[in-house]
Amino acid sequence: MSDLVMLNENGTASLSDSAEKFLAELKKDAKALVEELLEKTELKERQILVIGCSTSEIIGNTIGKASVPEVADTLLDGIMSALEGKGIYLAAQCCEHLNRAIIVERECAEKYGLDPVSVRPMPKAGGSFATAVYDRMTDPVAVETIKGHAGLDIGGTLIGMHLRHVAVPIRLSASKLGFANVICAYTRPKYIGGPRAVYK
């Protein structure tokens, strides 16, 4: 286990007293990372940013083994600060226990014709990040699938199933948040028509 966390008697993880500086850095780094992602992907208002996150990986543990709500809340503070006023829809991917369902605002689900399903994420069934997003949204719903315009994968959560075709990886100036690897992508329309086709 990372020295940032303590394992409680009930098997849940909580942050140690030494984690305050780590959380401050995490919030700042998350904001900077998302701002750079938005700049490079040129996401527009009412487009979808899919984020999958393992708080276990952020604190240096194995995905799914040490979910920490405080880390999710801090990370979300940074992300929401970067998204503020942009009108971009955040779509948070749940963990495998909810079949990687997606949490979005009802407005987003209705705009894109997505059918809500009856589930509410929790730290041990959905993940701490999806739970934090659900708790913070105005009118959250879960949907089984979505086609995002860009994505941010924090800790190897495999968000590709929720991105539009064609996904194009992009490199940002930072490749980690905390201890977690970060992979980003944007999507573009497919090229069709062969050698005679004209593209913009």
* pLDDT tens digits for range 70-111: 999 999 999 999 999 999 999 999 999 999 999 999 999 999
Residue 118 has pLDDT above 70, yes or no: yes
In this prediction, residue 8 carries a pLDDT of 66
Query: Cα separation of 74 and 32, whole Å?
Result: 14
Query: Going from the N-terminus, what domains does the chain have, and what CATH number goes with each?
Result: 18-189 (3.40.50.10360)
Please count the other Cβ atoms lying within 10 Å of the Cβ belonging to residue 62: 11
In this prediction, residue 183 carries a pLDDT of 96
In this prediction, residue 194 carries a pLDDT of 83
pLDDT band at 154; cut points 50, 70, 90:
very high
Query: Cα separation of 165 and 147, whole Å?
Result: 8
pLDDT band at 1; cut points 50, 70, 90:
very low
Between 6 and 158, the higher pLDDT residue: 158
Please count the other Cβ atoms lying within 10 Å of the Cβ belonging to residue 49: 24
Between 28 and 16, the higher pLDDT residue: 28
Q: Which two tokens stand for residue 27?
A: 């919030």
Least confident of 57-66, 68-77, 106-115, 173-182: 57-66
Q: Which of 65, 88, 69, 91 is nearest to 145 (CA)?
A: 91
Q: What is the mean pLDDT of the chain?
A: 91
Are residues 185 and 157 in contact, defined by beta-carbon separation less than 8 angstroms? no
The DSSP result for 142-154, as a single string, is EES---BSEEEEE
Are residues 173 and 140 in contact, defined by beta-carbon separation less than 8 angstroms? no
In this prediction, residue 115 carries a pLDDT of 96
